[in-house]
Chains A and B, each alone.
Chain A
Amino acid sequence: MIYSYYPGCTLKDRARQLDLYARASAAALGLELKELTQWQCCGAVYPAASDDIASRLSAVRALMNTEEKKLVTMCSACHHVLKRTNFDWKQDATFRTRATNYLQPEVPYDGSVEVVHFLELLRDEIGFDELKKKVVNPLTGRKIGAFYGCLLLRPSKVLSFDDPENPTIMENFIRALGAEPVSYPYRNECCGAYVAMEDQKSAQTQVERALNSAVAAGCEELITACPLCMYNLVENATVHRLPVKYFTELLAEALGVKEA
C-alpha cells in the first residue's frame, strides 16, 4: 500500500530518528511512505481562535497536495494540527470558504483525505497480530511505558485516536514487539509543552509527576511520538529519570532494521 507522508520540520532536524526509523520500519512492513513533494511547517499549534484562518493554511496546503487517500503523520503535533484542520474543513463552512478564497487553488480541496498517525496505521491496517509475526528481535523482558501526552488524544471527539482516559494503542504496540507494556496513571497528562521555554519550573513539575508515576509502576524505559515530549522528558527531568525513545526506534529494533 502507498500512503502520502507528512514528516514535519522537526523530523528533518532534532527528531531525525523519529523519521528515519519510521521509514526503515515501513519498508520492512511493505508500506510505502511517499513524502509530499511540497509541504511547509504546520505551525505546531492548532490556533486558539476560530477566526484565525492563516494559521491553518499550511495544513490545508498539505491536505491539498496529498495524492493518496491517506496522509500519514509521525509527530504528535503535526498529527494534531493536520487532523483538526481537516475536521474543520468538513464542519466549518466559513473556514472552508475563507481559506479557499485566500488560496485560490486550481482545484479546491474536497475534504476527502484522511489524516492518520503511523500508530493508527499499524493498528488498523497492518494489525498488531500481524505486526507481531514480522518481529525478528522480540524485545523480551523489557518493561516499557508509553507517554501519550496530550496532543495525540485530545480533543478525543476530533482526533478519535483512542480512549482519551485509558488509551491502549501504544501498550498493544509494545506488546506486539515482544516487550511488557507498563501502564501508569500520568501517561496521558501534559509534559509541560511549550511553556517549558518561558517557565522551566512548570515543565519540571509536570515531568517529575509523570516520571515518578512511571517509575513507581515499574517502567524501565519510555516511548513517545512527540519531539517536544522527548525534549521535556529528558531535559526537564529532575528527581526521576528514564531512558526515552521514539516509538519508531523501538519498532525498527524489533523488526531488525535499526542498524540498516
Chain B
Amino acid sequence: MDQNTRFLTETVLRISGVDPRKCMKCGKCSGTCPNYDAMEYHPHQFVSMVENGLIEQLMNSNAVYLCLGCMACVERCPRHVAPGKLVGALAQLKLRKQDGNHKGGNDIAAMADEKVPQQLLMAAMRKYRK
C-alpha cells in the first residue's frame, strides 16, 4: 500500500468506525441492499476492497452517491461490520478533497421541483457538498 492509500484507508476506518477484519463474507449486506442493481460496487465489496488497499477505486466510483443511507446493511450485518457506514464515510472523504463537491448549491436547486420538501434539499446539501 503506498502512503496516500494508507492515509486514506486509515482515515476512512477511523471516521466510519468500521473494522473490515470482522467481516465473514456472508454477503447478507449486499443481499439486503435496496440499491444493489444501481451501484457499481456493492456493500460487501466496499468492505473487502478497503481492506485490500483498493480504496481509490471506490472513491472514483459513483456508487458512493447511489447508497441511499438506509442502514439496512448496517442493521442486518451479523458481524456488526456496518458496511453502509463505510460507504457514507467514503463519500465524505471524496467531498473533503479540493474541489471535491459532487454538486454545488445551484445544481441542487436546479434538480428540485416545486414539490420537493425542505428536508430533501437539506439532505442533498449535506450529502453532495462541503
Contact = CB atoms under 8 A, between A and B. Distances in A.
A164 interface: yes
Interface stretch (B2-10, B23-31, B121-129): B121-129
Interface in B94-124: 103, 108, 111-113, 115-120, 122-124
Contacts of B34: 189-190, 205-206, 209
A228 interface: yes
Interface in A1-38: 8-10, 13-15
A227 B123 CA distance: 12
B125 to A, nearest CB: 8
Contact of A202 (B17, B35, B117, B122): B35
Which applies to chain A's interface (DSSP): helix, strand, loop or mixed? loop
B30 to A, nearest CB: 15
B85 interface: yes
B112 A197 contact: yes
A52 B121 CA distance: 20
Interface in A79-132: none
B122 A235 contact: no
B117 A228 contact: yes
Interface string B3-21: 0000000000011110000
Nearest to A190: B70
A155 B75 contact: yes
Nearest to B108: A197
B118 A190 contact: no
Interface in B31-71: 34-35, 37-38, 65-71
Contact of B16 (A10, A43, A48, A165): A48
B81 interface: no
A199 B71 contact: no
Contacts of B92: 47-49, 52
Contacts of B14: 50-51
Contacts of B71: 150, 154-155
Interface of A: 8-10, 13-15, 41, 43-45, 47-52, 55, 75, 77, 150, 153-156, 164-165, 189-190, 192-199, 201-202, 205-206, 209, 226-228, 230-231, 235
Interface of B: 14-17, 34-35, 37-38, 65-72, 74-75, 85, 88-89, 91-92, 103, 108, 111-113, 115-120, 122-124, 126-128
25 contacts: A14-B117, A41-B118, A43-B126, A44-B119, A48-B15, A48-B69, A49-B88, A49-B92, A50-B17, A52-B92, A150-B69, A150-B71, A154-B71, A156-B75, A190-B70, A193-B69, A193-B123, A197-B111, A202-B68, A206-B68, A209-B34, A227-B118, A228-B117, A228-B120, A231-B115
